[in-house]
Amino acid sequence: MKQRIQDKFKELFGQGGHLYASAGRINLIGEHTDYNGGYVFPGAIDKQLMAQIAPNGTDKVRAFSLDYNEMCEFGLNEEDKPAKAWACYIFGVCRETLKRGGKVEGFDTVFAGDVPLGAGLSSSAALESCFAYAIDTINGNGFDRFELAKIGQSTEHNYCGVNCGIMDQFASCFGKAGCLIRLNCKTLEYKYFPFDPEKAGYRLVLVDSCVKHELASSAYNKRRASCENAAAAIRKNHPEVEFLSDAKRLWLEEVREEIPEEDFLRAEYVIGEVQRVLDVCDALERNDYETAGEMMYQTHFGLSRLYEVSCEELDFLNKLARKMDVTGSRVMGGGFGGCTINLIKKELYDDFVKAATEQFTAKFGHAPKIYDVVISDGARMVE
């Protein structure tokens, strides 16, 4: 990937610049909790986005996507976002940096990535944080990594129509090889947890259903609105509830009749999920992978039945995992398609991957993709 980027850059723009990279992410547990002020437990992975970037002395950005084989040019003072969806992420990052008082010089860039698109591995956060980090470094703005993550998040909100939380951009900006990071999304306190399943006899494997939900972003925004509605109802009785994650289960029961049943179910899931993150972290500190895995199944149940962001294909993969004694399995990321994340004993790995591939293909007519992931570093300069 690096060589292809460098060759293309030379062809289009000549010499110069530096290489920057950022990463996609997994999340072991803590789904749809970030925008509710709860905990998440992600890590950056060895699927990357890499860009060569050089200032060009103008007020224009010239960007070439190797994966789409497309060029896009925009002015830094333009208000309207570019027509190409991939370019909106770069445009958004520039605009959000400027909005915060940062400097952004025009630049030329060629970039490519191997984070699968639409698989729930946050290829967009990888793109945003790579550029947020690079622009910050090149222009000497000195924003801290939280600010860089927020630049990515606001890009999603203001230029891409997704009212997302902070998890993906946080993981891409703070990712560290060999560690998962527990983030309290309300206080922004975080803690690195060394995570080495191999040492304990386990592996992590993602099974990508290759299903992409057309209306995923509007359904996502709707889930968020349900949670905010439930939190507002609880707040009337308990003013200390700033986010849904501050609420106790009992407090939710008190407003059951006042809110739509759908909102109640969404909130019920979130309140349970926030606690599960803490329980999984405790379990991992005791090297108790079996308890952590059981929690993952509970999360899947919640995401499927209460939060309703799973789909037939993902439920099928989850059921198969259970049947084959996989330690933990659940839909990962925003949902509506994408991957299951599976924590599995090493000796079961081959049988599970074979069965998942064969049985999924037989039922749905297309093969799933299998990704082995290594927990890796996030946004950085490569050379």
Catalytic positions, please?
168
- If one asks whether residue 216 binds ligand GLA (CB under 6 A), the answer comes out as no
The correct pick among 113, 334, 338, 368 for binding ligand GLA (CB under 6 A) is 334
Sheet holding 190-194, edge to edge: 39-40, 179-184, 190-194
The correct pick among 19, 22, 26, 32 for binding ligand GLA (CB under 6 A) is 32
Which is closer to ligand GLA, CB of 17 or CB of 92?
92
Smallest gap, in angstroms, from Cβ of residue 231 to ligand GLA?
Answer: 15
Dihedral angle of Cα 357, 363, 364, 365, to the nearest 10 degrees? 80
Q: Write out the binding residues for ligand GLA, residues 237-296 only, by CB under 6 A.
A: none
- If one asks whether residue 102 binds ligand GLA (CB under 6 A), the answer comes out as no
- If one asks whether residue 34 binds ligand GLA (CB under 6 A), the answer comes out as yes
Smallest gap, in angstroms, from Cβ of residue 220 to ligand GLA?
Answer: 7
The H or E element that residue 369 is part of is strand 369-372
Amino acid at 80: D
- Choose the stretch contacting ligand GLA; rule: CB under 6 A; options: 130-138, 164-172, 279-287, 318-326: 164-172
Q: How far is Cα 382 from Cα 319, in angstroms, rounded to an integer?
A: 41
Which is closer to ligand GLA, CB of 255 or CB of 317?
317
The torsion angles phi and psi of 182, rounded to 5 degrees, stand at -90, 125
Angle at the Cα of 296 (from 262 to 371), degrees rounded to 5? 110
The correct pick among 45, 112, 119, 164 for binding ligand GLA (CB under 6 A) is 164
Tokens of 310: 């799973």
Q: How far is Cα 51 from Cα 315, in angstroms, rounded to an integer?
A: 36
Tokens of 273: 């999920």
- Choose the stretch contacting ligand GLA; rule: CB under 6 A; options: 50-58, 159-167, 275-283, 373-381: 159-167
Contacts of 346 (CB under 8 A, 6+ apart): 198, 201, 202, 203
Which is closer to ligand GLA, CB of 255 or CB of 375?
375
Smallest gap, in angstroms, from Cβ of residue 32 to ligand GLA?
Answer: 5
Which is closer to ligand GLA, CB of 149 or CB of 205?
149
The correct pick among 110, 126, 167, 230 for binding ligand GLA (CB under 6 A) is 167
Q: Count the site residues for ligand GLA by CB under 6 A.
A: 11
Give the pairing of strands 202-212 and 328-331.
Answer: unpaired
The correct pick among 21, 24, 31, 317 for binding ligand GLA (CB under 6 A) is 31
Q: How far is Cα 188 from Cα 192, in angstroms, rounded to an integer?
A: 13
- If one asks whether residue 337 binds ligand GLA (CB under 6 A), the answer comes out as no
- Choose the stretch contacting ligand GLA; rule: CB under 6 A; options: 2-10, 161-169, 279-287, 368-376: 161-169
- Evaluate whether 101 touches 151 at the Cβ level (below 8 Å): no
- If one asks whether residue 165 binds ligand GLA (CB under 6 A), the answer comes out as yes
DSSP 131-176: HHHHHHHHHT----HHHHHHHHHHHHHHHS-----SHHHHHHHH-B
Other CB atoms within 10 Å distance of the CB of residue 228: 16
- If one asks whether residue 333 binds ligand GLA (CB under 6 A), the answer comes out as yes
DSSP code of residue 238: -
- If one asks whether residue 128 binds ligand GLA (CB under 6 A), the answer comes out as no
Interface residues with ligand GLA (CB under 6 A)?
Answer: 31-32, 34-35, 122, 164-165, 167-168, 333-334
